[in-house]
Amino acid sequence: MTQPKSHSLAFIALLIGNLALAGGPFLVRQAGVGPVAAGFWRLALALPFLWAIASAFKQPVHFPRRKLTIAVAIAAFFFAADLASWHAGILLTKLGNATLFGNISSFFFAAWGLWLARRLPSPVQAMALGLAAAGCGLLMWGSAELSAANLRGDLLAMFAGLLYTGYLIIVERTRGQLQPLPLLFLASLFGALFLLPAALAADERIFPTDWTGLFALALCSQVIGQGLLVYALGHLPPLVVGVAMLTQPALSSLLGWIYYGEAFTPRDWIGAAMIVIALVLVRLKQKGEPVLHEPAVAPS
């Protein structure tokens, strides 16, 4: 009875985590500061909450040995660059597009796993990559017709997915040497230290007139979203995680339609459907094949 109960709790955590992350793009637009500054506050404001949660779960935050600390700092640099690029893209394209393109790290990470294993993709994996490429093409085609700014936003969100892959690769190489909550805290700390000078150098607005949006962003995306997904990834199979990711672009698109009138055309929906199907396929374990490296921390 213990395992089914654990899986049920993990599935609930997965759904809540995905819903929390889906609101991230909307909250970035409500932050009242620049995109890089929003990334800084997302990480900085989450730190005391992550510290308290890590202590409650008996995973005390500490600096590991020097080599591992440097690895976490490099991973945090990729994470910080991912947030800066993604947040900038959110301001230039549809919320649904930003969420979908921000999650393409699944494909880049899978490709890295195949390269590491020195093997070609299976038919299902090849189909997933083909669907993802075609879906991205349809979405970008629609964005380009709207404006050049929308296309730049799509490209920035996709670049963020590539940067997040670098973060995942470094985390995967160090997994098992540091518990997940201390890792999340340290990555958030180092990431905040990278983002603050970048926001200042970009001459962005740093302090908002209303802190509600920033606190909501930190709690929803970094504490609840990342925290619950870190927990769920240790208890659920890749297929379940992949299917649950469908909630993110769906909710983001709904918020974009309600608040900004960002209606999806039939072509957009076809492109989005192709990407989310690919997200599921790329996480499937094929018979007789090893599971591709699973992210230790969920997508941003």
| Each residue's pLDDT tens digit, 89-131 | 999 988 878 887 887 776 676 677 667 666 777 787 778 778 8
Cβ-based burial of 251 (10 A; exposed 0-12, middle 13-18, buried ≥19): buried
Whether residue 295 is contained in a domain is answered as no
Domain around 270? 2-281
Whether residue 291 is contained in a domain is answered as no
* pTM as predicted: 0.81
Whether residue 167 is contained in a domain is answered as yes
The DSSP call for residue 221 is I
Whether residue 34 is contained in a domain is answered as yes
Whether residue 115 is contained in a domain is answered as yes
CA distances from 138 to 8, 31, 265, 293 (A): 36, 30, 11, 28
How many domains are there within the chain? 1
Residue 277: per-residue pLDDT:
82
Whether residue 11 is contained in a domain is answered as yes
Whether residue 132 is contained in a domain is answered as yes
Contact 22, 217 (CB under 8 A): no
The mean pLDDT values, 10 residues at a time, for the chain of 300 residues are 66 85 90 96 96 92 91 94 95 84 73 70 77 78 70 91 86 77 92 97 95 95 84 65 67 80 79 78 57 46
Whether residue 60 is contained in a domain is answered as yes
DSSP per residue, 99-162: HHHHTTHHHHHHHHHHHHHT-PPPHHHHHHHHHHHHHHHHHHHHHHHH-HHHHHHHHHHHHHHH
Upper half-sphere CA count for residue 94 (Cβ side, 13 Å): 29
